[in-house]
Structure 1
Amino acid sequence: MTPLEGLAVFAAGVGAGGINTAVGSGTLITFPVLLATGLPPVTATVSNALGLIPGNISGAFGYREELRGQRRRILKLGVGALLGGLTGATLLLALPAAAFERIVPVMVGLALVLVAFQPLIGKYLRGRRARTGVPARKDGGPLLFTGMTLASVYGGYFAAAQGIIYVAVMGTLLDESLQRLTAVKNVLVAIVNTAAATFFLFVADFDWTAVALIACGSALGGQFGARIGRRFSPAALRALIVAVGTVAIVQLLLR
């Protein structure tokens, strides 16, 4: 890796750390840059997963105020994130890349629809509960755990837009602010990336220069993303998620 390529990887790490913390889809910045340096796709994927962990942790720390009172939720969903991350990492090495690439844009697109129409969906669900007399479950029930675990499988395989899918699922099933959901998302992404990277350590080859550069850059970017993202209003944050997600879909379709 040349010095110029190293600088590009570091800068991509900063950008990915910031975007991952505030929205998600930071992998769509780092992954193409790693490919451009000549890394094979699998090596780029596993190196990226390990390198982004410091950024995930940094972002989660930046949202520590929004994490207050959510310990039980995080512990429960964290189990699914751990299992899903390990499953997705296994699938990365067992399945051809084309198997998931066909459905990734569809998954991201569905997530964007859920995020964009979350206020209307929430209003409809609250009205339905009021008519039927069935109280809302604060933990989201089995449907939330199942949906988040499946999203974690995807995240362990290819992390692009994982955060957007998390926010979409939680936003549909939980009556919480986007900022608090974003805080939980950051913790779960950190768990998935750590689980997947730990698995990859034993079975895949890393480019340790790329890992170090992304790690340093993403840790820095995570703090920037938390400071900026926490200032967004719900409408602005929702618009940013949809905008970034749309770019993600276009990039995935053009790969």
Structure 2
Amino acid sequence: MDLTRAALLAGGAAVAGAINAVAGGGTLVSFPAAIAAGLPPLAANATNAVALTPASLASAWAYRRELSRDYRVLGVLFLPSLLGGVVGSALLLVTPQRVFDAAVPGLVLVATLLLLWQNLRRAKPSAAPSPAADPGAERFALPSRPWLVFLLQFLVSVYGGYFGAGIGIMMLALLSSFAGDVDIHRLNGIKTVLASLINGVAALAFLFAGAVDAVATPIMMAAAVVGSLAGAVVARRIEPRKVRWFVVALGLTLTAKLAWDRFGG
């Protein structure tokens, strides 16, 4: 592989790792980079899923302090994430990609608008917090109907196993819908653990099917890990409100990009 193709793969994966650590949507950088480097679409998609899995784990490690409070929520969402990842990866291997991709812009837009609504709610004036309060001590308000959250996380995970662009935004929107005033960095930590599970299941399926490029994978994997660690460190130093609005802006950008790729190109 020549240096230009290797640079495309490494650069796209590093940026994707950083974006996924903050919000999600990195696939919209790494997948086109893999295509530009000469990989066929299916191989690019499969290789991307394998390469980003260790990056998700690296991001989860960077958020280990926040995750120490949220094992209960992870326990609720673990099974639907696992099952959805299995179903989504199987769909990619047996059905035409264009069938599912046609719905992608709408899915990402709905998730982004949900997060926007959450941001506007948080922007309303409220009582000032106590100076002695710990901003990370809030508890998740688990929903009274956990089956609904189970179903929604399963559907998000099916999409993640199939392609995954914007999955982080979808999970942040879902978590925000029942999290109360939980800090965005804690939501990011949960999101990265679930994303690594979904990507990991899909990666195993793609490896088993022989759909992964053996040369591009290690290049993208190493670059994505570096990018994810850097992204997680930077994200934790930013004011949570700014991270939330960045996620909304990123979601709208991804929606426009996906819509253009599917219907305008």
Count of residues in correspondence between the two structures: 244
Q: How do 1:16-35 and structure 2 match up within 5 A? A: 16-35=16-35
Of residues 153-162 and 1-10 in structure 1, the stretch that sits farther from structure 2 once superposed is: 1-10
Aligned-partner Cα distance in 2 for 1:120–1:15: 28
User: Which of 199, 202, 207 matches 1:201?
Assistant: 207
Mapped pair 1:92 → 2:92: yes
Deviation string, structure 1 residues 8-34 (Cα, Å, up to 9, x no partner): 211111111111011100101110011
Partner of 2:118: 118
Change (3 A) 1:57 1:51: same
Match of 1:128 in 2: none
**Normalised TM-score (structure 2):** 0.87
Structure 2 contact 88–162 (Cα < 8 Å) conserved: yes
Residues 58/71 of structure 1: CA separation in 2 closer, same or farther (3 Å cut): same
Moved more, 232-241 or 46-55: 232-241
Distance (Å, rounded) in 1 between the aligned partners of 2:87 and 2:238 = 34
> Which of 165, 168, 184 is the aligned partner of 1:163?
168
Could you tell me whether the CA contact under 8 Å between 2:14 and 2:223 is conserved in 1? yes
CA distance in 2, matches of 1:213, 1:239: 32
Query: Is 113-122 or 216-225 further displaced after alignment?
Result: 113-122
| Offset, 1:232 | 2.1
For 2:47 and 2:169, the matched residues in 1 are separated by 22
Aligned mates of 1:238, 1:45 — CA distance in 2: 27
Segments of 5+ residues of structure 1 without an aligned counterpart are 125-135
Q: 2:249 pairs with 232, 243, 246, which one?
A: 243
Cα shift readout 1:152-187 (whole Å, capped 9, x = no counterpart): 010000110000000001101222222111110000
SS across alignment from 1:185: helix
1:189 aligns with 2:195: yes
1:209 partner amino acid: V
Indicate the larger mover: 199-208 or 42-51.
199-208
Percent identity among equivalent residues?
34
Match of 1:147 among 122, 143, 152: 152
Give the aligned partner of residue 130 of structure 1: none
Q: Which moved more, 1:86-95 or 1:203-212?
A: 203-212
State the alpha-carbon separation in 2 of the partners of residues 201 and 193 from structure 1.
12
How big is each residue's C-alpha offset from its partner over 1:121-174, in whole Å with a ceiling of 9 and x where there is no partner? Answer: 6799xxxxxxxxxxx983332221211111001000011000000000110122
Q: 2:186 aligns with which of 177, 180, 184?
A: 180
Equivalent residue, structure 2, for 1:138:
141
Does the 8 A contact of 1:144 with 1:173 survive in 2? no
Cα root mean square deviation, aligned: 1.8
More displaced stretch, 179-188 vs 196-205: 196-205
CA contact (8 A) 1:63 1:226 kept: yes
